[in-house]
Amino acid sequence: MPVITDIADLRRLHERRSPRMFFDYCESGSWTEQTFRENTSDFEKLRFRQRVAVDLSNRSVAGRMLGEEVAMPVALSPVGMTGMQRADGEIKAARAAKAFGVPYTLSTMSICSIEDVAEHAGPGFWFQLYVMKDEAFVDAIIERAKRAGCSALVLTLDLQALGQRHKDLKNALTAPPRLTPRNLLNIATKPVWAAEMLRTRRHSFGNVLGHASGVTNLANLMSWTAEQFDLTLDWEKVRRIREKWGGKLILKGILDAEDAKLAAEVGCDAIIVSNHGGRQLDGALSSIRVLPSILRALEGRARRPEVWLDSGIRSGQDILKALAMGADATMIGRAYIYGLGAMGEAGVTKALEVMRKELDLSMAFCGHRRLEEVTRDILLVPEDFEGRWDRPVPQMAGARKAPVRVG
Ligand SMILES: Cc1cc2nc3c(=O)[nH]c(=O)nc-3n(C[C@H](O)[C@H](O)[C@H](O)COP(=O)(O)O)c2cc1C
């Protein structure tokens, strides 16, 4: 067993042990990948203030998300095709999250179905919805999520159309992979992955295949998926979905102060400040950079949704920075997928353990014993961190018309 000291170790093992096309799928941002890179490099611009001679006994990194206690304020983000990184990957990730005591979010585009994952998931089992044109499919999947006991719906708003990720096009990504000579050669070097895949029956999109009308095999599944993302999704539809669901609602993909206000007006329990891990609009700002403007936009509301952040978190130090900047909680995508691709369920657990240790020790070095004591005061934030941007505000309800400065 290799000695794992950080998430980068898991990333290296994931790269070595998973077929190229699935590692690349995980490791891609859209177009030039500027936003993907800045999601992580912007965290590095924030520095800590070291404090000393403070009683550091009896520490805890527990927190709350949607009013429920969590082992640390970190949930696993929805990741499509997790079950291609490792056989039955969604089940493995859900089991690790349950044992650790953090929520797990299942993607619409998962390999294991909602029903299969529900048998293994803990109380924090959330379902992420992509709104599709096929309304019957959307209605049915919302019902399936309710029946499976999902305790929250995560509605993703930043993927009405798919961002272009060059590597996926070059690799001709599919689930399951096409058995071309190039893929076969590559898979031959991944014996553990291949042996596990041969032992499972879950090889394609389990929430869709056999559930969407007319989708019965891989060929029509691919064409269905390609044309199904609903380009007409708007706040009115969000409102309708909220009513259909009737339970806790989390809006994912908010990256602008105006959208944060609209999300709060529609009514939701939490928003996720996210740019989809840099996979959608390349050139957008990193999540950590826009977080302060979003928090300011929601200030003073009688009922404010919880504000969480994902995109770019690779360590417990990043989690601490996000919390210190004002996020109520965080979510992670690639960090746990690296663990899964490296070592299956044990790797997801390892990723969470590594991050918890980093979070706990960094909090202690900053002079605190509990996350609720942590404020922006533990950080050194560069004066120009948010940037000074002139931008015309889009014409939409409630938006100011004159150019404004952010930050
Ligand atoms: C390989 C991959 C697949 C993803 N699939 C989905 C998805 O199906 N639904 C969704 O809402 N977000 C999806 N995301 C975005 C994640 O939920 C999350 O926002 C992102 O990974 C956070 O950035 P990080 O990976 O830097 O932590 C995906 C991200 C990755 C890396």
Residue 31 lies in a domain: yes
Q: Is residue 2 part of a domain?
A: no
How large is the angle between the packed helices 287-298 and 34-45, nearest 10 degrees?
Answer: 70
Strand partners, 271: 251, 307
pTM: 0.95
Q: Scan for tokens 């990948």, then name that residue.
A: 33
- Phi, psi of 229, deg, nearest 5: -60, 135
Query: How far is it, in rounded angstroms, from Cα 214 to Cα 208?
Result: 10
Angle formed at CA 297 by CA 295 and CA 302, multiple of 5 degrees: 90
Query: In this structure, is residue 1 part of a structural domain?
Result: no
pLDDT number for residue 226:
78
Among 14, 120, 276, 368, the one annotated catalytic: 276
* Ligand 1 pocket: which of 20, 22, 105, 279 to mutate (most atoms within 8 A of CB): 279
Catalytic annotation on 211? Answer: no
Nearest CA owner, ligand 1 atom 12:
78
Instruction: Let me know if residue 339 belongs to a domain.
Output: yes
Q: Is residue 74 in some structural domain?
A: yes
Judge whether 116 lies within some domain.
Answer: yes
Give the angle subtended at the CA of 15 by the CAs of 14 and 18, to the nearest 5°: 70
Pocket lining for ligand 1, CB < 6 angstroms:
25-26, 39, 77-80, 107, 109, 128, 156, 252, 274, 276-277, 279, 310-313, 332-335
Q: What is the dihedral of CA 106, 108, 113, 119, to 10 degrees?
A: 30
CATH number of the domain within which 184 lies: 3.20.20.70
Chunked mean pLDDT (size 10), the chain, 407 residues? 94 98 97 98 98 98 98 98 98 98 98 98 97 96 98 97 93 89 95 97 94 85 85 97 98 98 98 98 98 97 96 99 98 98 98 98 98 98 93 51 42
In the block, residue with structure tokens 């924030």 = 46
- CB of 338 closer than 8 Å to CB of 23: no
Q: Distance between terminal CA atoms of the chain? A: 47
From the alpha carbon of 128, which atom of ligand 1 is closest?
11
The answer to the question of whether 315 is labelled as a binding residue is no
Q: What is the number of domains present in the chain?
A: 1
Place of tokens 């891609």: 28
Per-residue confidence (pLDDT) for residue 392, from 0 to 100 = 56
Residue 148: domain span: 7-406
Please choose from 38, 76, 77, 208 the residue to mutate so as to test ligand 1's pocket, defined by most ligand atoms within 8 A of CB. Answer: 77
